[in-house]
Amino acid sequence: MQAASGGENVTQQAEQIFDTADRAKEPLRAFLIKHSDPQEREFFLRTQQRIAANSNTEPARATDFIVIIPAFVVKELTLAFQIGF
């Protein structure tokens, strides 16, 4: 990886990173939903909605990353422990 020689290169590199992340976000979302448990997603959705109601923030939707990432992690950890024991 080459070091950026000026502010323009840094800005261009940052734009490329953000563009790549933006293109990857929907396939990642689909993967996480497919490989997470619906009950876990529902739990994290309800939990986030309760938190949002108490803090005047916008409640999450069922497909938001704040819901599906922890649901996916819990499912993977559960599988790992089942395999290990």
Portion of the chain with pLDDT greater than 70, in percent: 92
Mean pLDDT value across the chain: 91
Dihedrals phi, psi of 63, to nearest 5 degrees? -105, 10
What's the mean pLDDT in 44-63? 92
CB 30 within 8 A of CB 72: no
Contacts of 14 (CB under 8 A, 6+ apart): none
- Helix, strand or coil, per DSSP, at residue 56: coil
| pLDDT beyond 80 at 5 | no
pLDDT for res 10: 87
| pLDDT beyond 50 at 4 | no
Local structure of residue 62 (DSSP, 8 states): T
What's the mean pLDDT in 75-81? 95
